Amino acid sequence: MSAASNGDGASAAKFIPKNIAPTQEQLAIQTAVDNTILVEANAGAAKTTTLALRMAESWSRGVPPANCMALTYTATARDALAAALSKIGVPAAVVRQFRIETFESFARAVLAEVDGGVVPTRPTAESLKATVWDAIEAIAKDEGERCRAELQIPSLGDNSAVESFLRVDHSLKGRMLLALDHGDSPITPELAASLGCSYTHLRVFKAYEQIRQPWHLDYPTFRGAFDATYDLAALILKDELPANLKAWPERVRVLLVDEMHDMNQAMNVILTRLLEANCFFCGVGDVDQVIYSAAGADSKFLQGEIKRRGTRRIKRLALTSSFRFDATLAKAVSRFKRKPCVSGSAHATKVATHGYADDAEADSCENQIVHAIRQWASSREKLSGFAVLLRHPSQSVALENALLAASIPYVSRGFDSYLMRPEILLIRGLLAVATDRFDSIDDPQTRRKVVEAFVFFCDVNIRAAGLDHLSQRELLKRAVDAVCDNPLILRDFFENQVLKGVTPMVANRLRNAVRVVQSESGPRLLARVMDALRLDLLAIGVFVEGERREEVQGNLLGLMQLADRFATPADFFLSLNESEVKLRGLRVAPARVVLAHVASVKGLEFDHVALPYLRQGEFPGPTGTPLEEENLFYVGITRARRFLSLYAHRELPSAFVGRLH
Ligand SMILES: Nc1ncnc2c1ncn2[C@@H]1O[C@H](COP(=O)(O)OP(=O)(O)OP(=O)(O)O)[C@@H](O)[C@H]1O
């Protein structure tokens, strides 16, 4: 039993946490008797921890953990909440019984019962591309089209058209605009303008959804990354959600939403329905951490929008102090975001800014970071407490090489090791063909990925005599299996399947690239291979997102810089393979440095956070909106507990760094 008590209508706490002493503000949320609470607070102000306290309190008061449900937008936020429960001393067996899910995984579980069958997920833009073109073709051919003059049909193969459609799809679904207010409205240019998209996009959206959910089927043919949330919300709005579904938490007593700033309208529809149960609700978030506005994320939900649809009276409670970092970093955060930020931390946080130069070896960002990690390890600090946060995955090429050379174990989050990215695997494949050393890639899985990279980038059409009855998919699988089982036949596969199964132009480029590797040497060799191959054009053909296509350029640039250190292409190829072996070896190390994309660590914290490559044009970069770039930087700097090391370009430092001082 506890001696804790507080005012504000709350009762005494039964759950006494380990590792922390809750503040009065936390206790007020842990024990509140109001049934609807919203908390808007800064990064590190214990939002997740306080939700964990509330769950633990309910469990201590006899609420079965299965009747406590917490929803988040990202899997990282979900895991962070489970970790916070463990940290405050909730037994692992109990943590497992709480329902902690992302909105999407919850929606999938509910829909799995409704669908009555398995609906395949297509998680990437590339896997949705063909359906987008089918939809575009359908509207182009539609003889009943009344506003043809308004239509702008893109030319076939233009991936940027697919990208911009998918953005609209994401936004319309996240905001539920069509389902909410315009469900039966005719599709007109005026409606498109009122929804903030073009008439063509709106027409494609309708056609795409008709392909995804044909009228004669009760369930969709596939779902994109966030379609389950949308489909479930649509079902709720149409009042067609069946009763008594096992996955629907009929008996929910405590309902929580972490990172509520990420909520969009589709999630809000689901949440509103869940709130019909007579349960306690608490939502927490930080409006400055919105980084998913493209998917309709809107801070209005955190700011009280849920009130509109229900009878609940919202009580706002505060968490004013950040425990993650000290007053020095809190002041810097406050200057950067122009908002109050107070620290309640007992530990100090050292903030240091270092300059780096592009060409000076010792002064390079990666060498300085290796040095910092070595110092960290020599002070007996855990490697897993050190995180290097990147704005762009391609920035990892030089860093990974430096970490591998220094034998520093690392794990990547939010992206694959550069050695496993498809464009790098394609180059490794070409080097293997040209040097006839495919067998030096010792892992069969990597060999498979190399062969798949050929197929992916070059759109190979496999032919096999006497097997015309098999689908391309099956033929491809057989061909890939054969090369993986016997690396010596890669050259044969390249000559007889790849070169003969691609367009003459692509075949020429591949041949030329192999010729350059075989006949030339010296510095800039890889640059000449790239010129021959025009991988940039191949990337434009396969990748839908502009940002991903730019990543290809960044990855290749990093690879070219690395290649210049080797005398021959064979040496370079073998060294890439050795790096992969080394990486695998380091993976079994008990503790590893975290190399992560900034967005992928939202909700997490590390003792030492390093932010490299702070150069104007890199971070903030040209791809994101100015506000989301700023929010990403805010997320990055507020992950630090004891050390924040910023690496700013000496000549072109990021303007963000200046705003901290
Ligand atoms: N009362 C407390 N005393 C000391 N430390 C605390 C207390 N409450 C929480 N903490 C610690 O403060 C840190 C930040 O907490 P938490 O991760 O819950 O913050 P958050 O607001 O969810 O952060 P973010 O929005 O950045 O994800 C954690 O290390 C947590 O254990």
pLDDT tens-digit profile of 441-475? Answer: 888 889 889 988 988 888 888 887 788 788 888 88
pLDDT attached to residue 10: 55
Q: For residue 197, name the pLDDT band (cuts at 50, 70, 90).
A: very high
Annotate 599-635 with DSSP letters as a single string.
GGGTT--EEEEEEEEEBTTTSS-SSS-HHHHHHHHHH
Torsion over CA: 181, 183, 152, 457 (sign) = positive
* Assigned superfamily of 327-409+590-658: P-loop containing nucleotide triphosphate hydrolases (3.40.50.300)
SS (H, E, C) 187-204: CCHHHHHHHCCCHHHHHH
Question: What is the percent of the chain with per-residue pLDDT over 90, rounded to a whole number?
Answer: 68
pLDDT attached to residue 110: 96
44 marked ligand binding residue: yes
Question: Is 5 a residue whose pLDDT tops 50?
Answer: no
Distance 93 CA to ligand 1 centre (A): 23
The rounded distance, in Å, linking the Cα atoms of 540 and 538 is 5
- Report the range out of 89-93, 258-262, 586-590 with the highest average pLDDT: 89-93
Which residue reads 């197929």 in tokens? 455
* Packing angle of the helix pair 535-542, 546-563 (nearest 10 deg): 150
pLDDT attached to residue 351: 97
Residue 510's contacts (CB-CB under 8 Å, 6 or more residues apart) are 430, 458, 494, 498, 499, 502, 533
pLDDT attached to residue 647: 97
- Examine residue 189 and say whether the peptide bond preceding it is cis (omega within 30 degrees of 0): no
Question: Token digits for 454?
Answer: 């050929």
Cα 575-581-586 angle, rounded to 5 deg: 120
Question: Is 551 a residue whose pLDDT tops 60?
Answer: yes
48 marked ligand binding residue: yes
- Fold match between domain 24-112+236-319 and domain 327-409+590-658: yes
Asked if 56 and 70 touch (Cβ cutoff 8 Å), the reply is no
Model confidence, pTM: 0.92
Question: Is 341 a residue whose pLDDT tops 60?
Answer: yes
Asked if 275 and 69 touch (Cβ cutoff 8 Å), the reply is no
The rounded distance, in Å, linking the Cα atoms of 281 and 256 is 6
Give the SS3 label for residue 467: coil
- The residue contributing the CA closest to ligand 1 atom 3 is 20
Amino acid at 309: R
- What CATH class is the domain 24-112+236-319? alpha beta
Distance 139 CA to ligand 1 centre (A): 52
Q: Which atom of ligand 1 is nearest to the CA of 87?
A: 31
φ, ψ dihedrals at 538, nearest 5°? -60, -40
pLDDT attached to residue 147: 87
Domain definitions of the chain by residue range = 24-112+236-319, 125-222, 327-409+590-658, 419-586
Asked if 473 and 461 touch (Cβ cutoff 8 Å), the reply is no
Asked if 640 and 325 touch (Cβ cutoff 8 Å), the reply is yes
The mean-pLDDT minimum among 23-32, 117-126, 456-465, 579-588 falls in: 456-465
Question: Is 11 a residue whose pLDDT tops 70?
Answer: no
- Decide: 628 in ligand 1 pocket, CB within 6 A: no
Question: Token digits for 461?
Answer: 């059409």
Q: For residue 296, name the pLDDT band (cuts at 50, 70, 90).
A: confident
Distance 605 CA to ligand 1 centre (A): 9
Question: What is the percent of the chain with per-residue pLDDT over 70, rounded to a whole number?
Answer: 96
Asked if 150 and 206 touch (Cβ cutoff 8 Å), the reply is no
Compare 233 and 484 and report the one with higher pLDDT. Answer: 233
Question: Is 365 a residue whose pLDDT tops 50?
Answer: yes
Compare 522 and 534 and report the one with higher pLDDT. Answer: 534
Question: Token digits for 507?
Answer: 């075949």
The rounded distance, in Å, linking the Cα atoms of 316 and 38 is 5
H or E element: which one contains 412?
strand 410-413
pLDDT attached to residue 6: 44
Amino acid at 585: G
Question: Is 216 a residue whose pLDDT tops 90?
Answer: no
